[in-house]
Amino acid sequence: MNSKKKLIAGNWKMNGRLAANEALLKALIAEIGNTACDVAVAVPAPYLAQVQSLAAGSGIAVAAQDVSQHEAGAYTGEISAAMLKDFGVCYVLVGHSERRQYHSETDVAVAEKTQRALAAGITPIVCVGETLQEREAGQTETVVKRQLAAVIHLNGHCISEVVVAYEPVWAIGTGRTASPEQAQAVHAVLRAQLSAASEHADRIRLLYGGSMNAGNAAQLLAQPDIDGGLVGGASLKASDFLQIIAAAC
C-alpha cells in the first residue's frame, strides 16, 4: 500500500448552475473538515471564479477540465494555463477520454497541454484509457502505455509532478466498472512505466476513473497501486462524493 496521501477529484463535466454549485460546495465543506486525503473539484470554466471563492480556506482544491496547448494568442475559445492560474486552479484534467473522442485530441496534444500546465505550476491529471473494442482485442496495455509514453517523452524529468488517471472508456458513464483486479492490473503497468521513466515515480499518484461510486470505492481504493479516484456523476451528489472521500481516508 502506498503511503502517499490519496486524491479524490470530482469531475462535474458539463454540469452545474450557480445556485446548484453553491449548495453542493457548502454541503461538501460542512462535512469534510480536516480530511486525511486531498479533495478537488474540476468545474466548467465559467464557474471557476465562483468555486474559487466558495472553496477558499476549505481544503477543497479547484481544478479545471481542460487547458490550451498554446500559451496565448489568436485561439478563440481556448483557455490558457496562465488564465487558470489567475483563478487559483491547482489541478487540470488533460486528455480526458471525452476530449480525445469528441474533440480529436491526439497523444501529442495531450503531452503539450501537460507541458503548459506544469510550466504554470498547475498539476495536470493526465487521463489514459482504452475503449471496449481495444480491451476485447487485448490491446489495453499497448494503448495506455502509448498514451502515457507521449507525455513522458515531452515532459521528461517533470513527469514526477503529474497525476495519472486510468479511465477505461468502456466504464465511463456506463455504469460498468473495471473490477478491482482489472483496475489494479492496469495501474501496475502504468506504475512500472513511470518507474522506468523517473527515479521519483513513487510520488506520482495514480487515480482510477471509471464509474467509481459510493458502493465500489472502498474495494478499488484498497488496491496497492490505486492512489485515489477521478469521480464523475457521483461527484455531483454531496452524499455520494462524501462517502467516496470517506473510503479514501
pLDDT one-digit tens code per residue, 58-104: 999 999 999 999 999 999 999 999 999 999 999 999 999 999 999 99
Residue 155 lies in a domain: yes
* 157 part of the active site: no
Render 129-188 in DSSP notation, one character per residue: ---HHHHHTT-HHHHHHHHHHHHHHHHGGGGGG-EEEE--GGGSSSS----HHHHHHHHH
* 167 part of the active site: yes
Predicted confidence (pLDDT) at residue 1 exceeds the cutoff of 80: no
Residue 164 lies in a domain: yes
Choosing from 98, 112, 161, 167, the catalytic residue is: 167
Residue 1 lies in a domain: no
Domain that holds residue 115: 7-248
Of 97, 96, 98, 93, the C-alpha closest to 81 is 93
CATH number at residue 176: 3.20.20.70
Of 236, 137, 146, the C-alpha closest to 190 is 146
Residue 2 lies in a domain: no
Choosing from 96, 98, 105, 130, the catalytic residue is: 96
pLDDT one-digit tens code per residue, 8-27: 999 999 999 999 999 999 99
Q: What share of the chain is helix, strand, coil (3-state, %, to 5)?
A: 50, 15, 35
The domain total for the chain is: 1
Tell whether pTM > 0.75.
Answer: yes
